[in-house]
């Protein structure tokens, strides 16, 4: 008789954003009123950069003629894209990464969710809290956690990012094997400093841990004091895997293109104590389970890693950062404690009340959707996340509706 993977039963509920969408839909169908404005989901709203569009059009031209047609490409990505990533993201910042350490993929979601397959069942997991829920859920499915008890999974080391520490990045207080860090952080908007990442790398080297560094929001960093890659820290290539994506930088959420760096220097032992290259394992995994990203999409991605493409990314991310500035300005008028929105498209607000209750209150009184913090981990309770991914007009209208509610509830 077939039985299911029982780990699925440990998952506390549906994926956060599916639950929000279903609550909003139910509310909307029962309550007529002004259109609901979403500052909830982290999806981009502006059109694609023109260079990406042109590169795709050209690539489709290639696909129509037998002489330039491309069928299956290399599972790990075309050389033209891997070299463009190395040049634009690493060499230009004096970071030594080779093209054969880059794995092009269809998303940082899939990569950060799949990477756990490389590690043994006994791996002790630690992660920022709150953070992107994919890291913990994928490890629940992988069987590396206990049950969901009192808002947390047993066996997971949560590293709080909270108002107690001014939303700074801390280290695990026990030895662990795998540490997930997202910077700029989704949802807090906190950005790790060089010193914080140095401490993290020292900690990982010290206890033999591997860091999964999610840099999906790296392109929102404007202050050169904040590293844009963990490999800017000496010896990080001995202990860190870096994931990045064009989703939030170049608006590729609907196109799907990302990449993961697994440095050759990253060696991990098997149960017998023999060292193995994680890069070789990941290559083996990808060649087995993945058949590459569409050629026109990889051409579009490569166009974004030229100086002109980088300028278009800058313009696009500037738009969302301006939204964030407008949102922060309203919060400054209130007594609310908040972080983010400076080098990140998210603003994290300490509402000091049940986060789902606050979500419903804002939905009912302002018809504005925000994200309840509890969905991002135990330390997310008491907070909401506001996303700057929206059209400027929507942000302005949403803030007009939120203003009286926020000023009344959180008077300065
Ligand atoms: C949006 C997001 C991603 C991007 O995932 P894609 O699958 O590349 O679209 C990755 N990590 C975090 C933390 C995100 O918020």
**Partners of 243 in beta bridges:** 214, 260
Closest alpha carbon to 185 in 153, 136, 218, 156: 218
Tracing tokens 């140095």 back to the chain, one arrives at 198
pLDDT in tens, 180-208: 999 999 999 999 999 999 999 999 999 99
Q: Cα 326–47–369 angle (5° rounding)?
A: 45
Check if 189 has its Cβ closer than 6 Å to any atom of ligand 1: no
Domain ranges in the chain are 6-47+309-410, 51-305
Do residues 252 and 245 lie in contact, with contact meaning Cβ atoms separated by under 8 Å? yes
Q: How far is the CA of 109 from the centre of ligand 1 (A)?
A: 5
> Strands, DSSP E only, in 130-239?
148-149, 152-153, 157-160, 178-182, 210-214
Do residues 368 and 405 lie in contact, with contact meaning Cβ atoms separated by under 8 Å? no
Tell how far CA 105 is from the center of its chain: 15
Which DSSP symbol is given to 123?
A: P
Closest alpha carbon to 260 in 90, 75, 105, 95: 105
Phi and psi at residue 160, to the nearest 5°: -70, 140
Identify the pLDDT of residue 18.
86
pLDDT in tens, 370-402: 999 999 999 999 999 999 999 999 999 999 999
Check if 219 has its Cβ closer than 6 Å to any atom of ligand 1: no
Six token digits for residue 22:
């279903």
Distance, in Å, from the CA atom of 30 to the CA atom of 390, rounded to the nearest integer, reads: 25
DSSP letter for each residue of 37-61: EE--S----SPPPHHHHHHHHHHHH
pLDDT in tens, 75-107: 999 999 999 999 999 999 999 999 999 999 999
Q: How far is the CA of 42 from the centre of ligand 1 (A)?
A: 9
Check if 109 has its Cβ closer than 6 Å to any atom of ligand 1: yes
Check if 245 has its Cβ closer than 6 Å to any atom of ligand 1: yes
Q: What contacts 217, CB < 8 A, 6 or more positions away? A: 182, 183, 184, 185, 186, 248, 344, 345
pLDDT band for position 13 (50/70/90)? Answer: confident
CATH of 51-305, one of 3.40.640.10, 1.20.1280.50, 3.90.1150.10, 3.40.50.11610: 3.40.640.10
Check if 244 has its Cβ closer than 6 Å to any atom of ligand 1: no
Check if 213 has its Cβ closer than 6 Å to any atom of ligand 1: no
Q: How far is the CA of 1 from the centre of ligand 1 (A)?
A: 37
pTM: 0.96
pLDDT in tens, 109-123: 999 999 999 999 999
Identify the pLDDT of residue 42.
87
- CATH code of 6-47+309-410, in short, is 3.90.1150.10
> Strands, DSSP E only, in 215-298?
240-245, 258-261, 267-269, 275-277
């Amino acid at each position: 008789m077939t039985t299911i993977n029982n780990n699925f039963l440990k998952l506390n509920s549906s994926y956060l954003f599916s639950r929000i969408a279903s609550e909003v839909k139910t509310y909307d169908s029962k309550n007529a009123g002004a259109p609901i404005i979403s500052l909830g989901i982290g999806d981009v709203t502006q059109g694609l950069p023109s260079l990406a569009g042109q590169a795709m059009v050209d690539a489709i031209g290639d696909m129509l003629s037998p002489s330039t047609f491309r069928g299956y490409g290399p599972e790990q990505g075309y050389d033209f894209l891997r070299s463009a990533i190395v040049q634009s993201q690493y060499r230009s910042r004096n970071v030594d990464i080779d093209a054969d350490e880059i794995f092009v993929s269809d998303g940082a979601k899939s990569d950060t969710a799949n990477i756990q397959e490389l590690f043994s069942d006994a791996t002790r997991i630690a992660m920022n809290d709150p953070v992107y829920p994919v890291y913990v859920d994928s490890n629940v499915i992988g069987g590396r956690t206990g049950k969901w008890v009192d808002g947390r999974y047993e066996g997971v080391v949560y590293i709080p990012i909270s108002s107690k520490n001014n939303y700074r990045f801390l280290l695990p207080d026990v030895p662990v094997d795998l540490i997930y860090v997202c910077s700029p952080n989704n949802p807090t908007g906190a950005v790790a400093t060089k010193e914080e990442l140095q401490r993290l790398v020292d900690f990982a080297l010290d206890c033999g841990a591997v860091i999964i560094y999610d840099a999906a929001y790296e392109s929102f960093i404007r202050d050169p004091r904040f590293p844009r890659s963990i490999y800017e820290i000496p010896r990080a290539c001995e202990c860190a895997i870096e994931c990045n994506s064009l989703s939030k930088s170049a608006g590729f959420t609907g196109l799907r293109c990302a990449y993961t760096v697994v440095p050759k220097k990253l060696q991990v032992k098997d149960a017998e104590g023999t060292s193995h290259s994680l890069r070789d394992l990941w290559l083996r995994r990808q060649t087995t389970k993945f058949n590459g990203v569409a050629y026109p999409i990889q051409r579009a991605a490569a166009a974004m890693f030229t100086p002109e493409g980088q300028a278009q990314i800058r313009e696009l991310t500037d738009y969302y950062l301006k939204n964030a500035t407008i949102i922060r300005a309203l919060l400054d008028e209130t007594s609310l404690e908040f972080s983010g929105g400076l080098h990140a498209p998210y603003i994290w607000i300490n509402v000091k009340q049940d986060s789902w209750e606050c979500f419903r209150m804002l939905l009912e009184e302002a018809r504005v959707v925000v994200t309840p913090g509890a969905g991002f981990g135990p330390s997310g309770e008491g907070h909401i996340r506001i996303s700057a991914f929206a059209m400027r007009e929507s942000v302005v209208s949403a803030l007009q509706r939120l203003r009286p509610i926020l000023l009344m509830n959180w008077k300065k």
